[in-house]
Amino acid sequence: MAGRRLPAELGYVLPLLGLMLAAFVLPIGLMLARSVLNPGPPPEPTLEHYQALLETAVYLRVLGRTFRIALVTTVACALLGYPLAYWMRGLPPQRQVLAVALVVLPFWISILVRTYAWIVVLGNAGLVNRLLLDLGLVAAPVAFLYNETGVIIGTTNVLLPFLVLPLFAAMLRIDPRLLQAAESLGASRFTVFRRVFFPLSLPALAAGAILVFILTFGFYITPAILGGGRVPMVANALDLLINQFARWEAAAALSTILLVVTLVCFALSRWVGARGATS
pLDDT in tens, 111-126: 888 889 999 898 888 8
Mean pLDDT of the chain: 86
- Residue 195: which of 208, 205, 206, 181 has the closest Cα? 181
For position 70, what pLDDT does the model report?
93
CA nearest 54: which of 239, 224, 256, 210?
256
Give the pLDDT score at 75: 95
- The full DSSP string for 152-191 is HHHHHHHHHHHHHHHHHHHHHTS-HHHHHHHHHTT--HHH
Residue from 159, 253, 147, 150 nearest 214 by CA: 159
- Cα torsion angle, 98, 103, 106, 107, sign: negative
Q: What integer pLDDT is reported at residue 273 of this predicted model?
A: 67
CATH fold group of domain 67-231:
MetI-like fold (1.10.3720)
Q: Is residue 26 pLDDT above 70, yes or no?
A: yes
pLDDT of residue 277: 58
pLDDT at 141: 87
Neighbour count for residue 253 (Cβ, 10 Å): 26
Give whole-number Cα distances, 124 to 112, 142, 232, 237, in Å.
20, 7, 22, 27
Digit-coded pLDDT (tens) for 160-214: 999 999 999 999 998 888 888 888 888 888 888 888 899 889 888 988 998 899 8
pLDDT at 238: 87
- So what's the pLDDT on residue 80? 95
Q: Are 158 and 114 in contact (CB under 8 A)?
A: yes
| pLDDT > 90? residue 9 | no
For 88-91, the CB contacts below 8 A with 24+ separation are 88/164, 88/168, 89/168, 89/171, 89/172
Q: Model confidence over 227-259: pLDDT tens digits?
A: 888 888 888 888 888 888 888 888 888 888 888
The more confident residue out of 64 and 3 is 64
Residue 5 phi/psi, 5-degree rounding, is: -80, -15
Neighbours of 257 (CB within 10 A): 17
Instruction: Confirm if 236 and 223 have CB atoms less than 8 A apart.
Output: yes
* Residue 279 confidence class, pLDDT cut points 50, 70, 90: low
Rounded average pLDDT over 55-74? 90
Single-letter code of the amino acid located at 57: A
Pairing of strands 37-38, 44-45: antiparallel
Instruction: Give the Cβ contact number of residue 90 at 10 Å.
Output: 9
CA distances from 91 to 88, 177, 253 (A): 5, 18, 48
Confirm if 207 and 268 have CB atoms less than 8 A apart. Answer: no
CA dihedral 260→266→272→278, nearest 10 degrees, is -120
Confidence of residue 1 (pLDDT cuts 50, 70, 90): very low
Identify the helix (H) or strand (E) that includes residue 44.
strand 44-45
pLDDT at residue 47, rounded to an integer: 83
More confident residue, 99 or 37: 99
Q: Is the pLDDT of residue 83 over 90?
A: yes
Task: Tell me how long the chain is.
Answer: 279
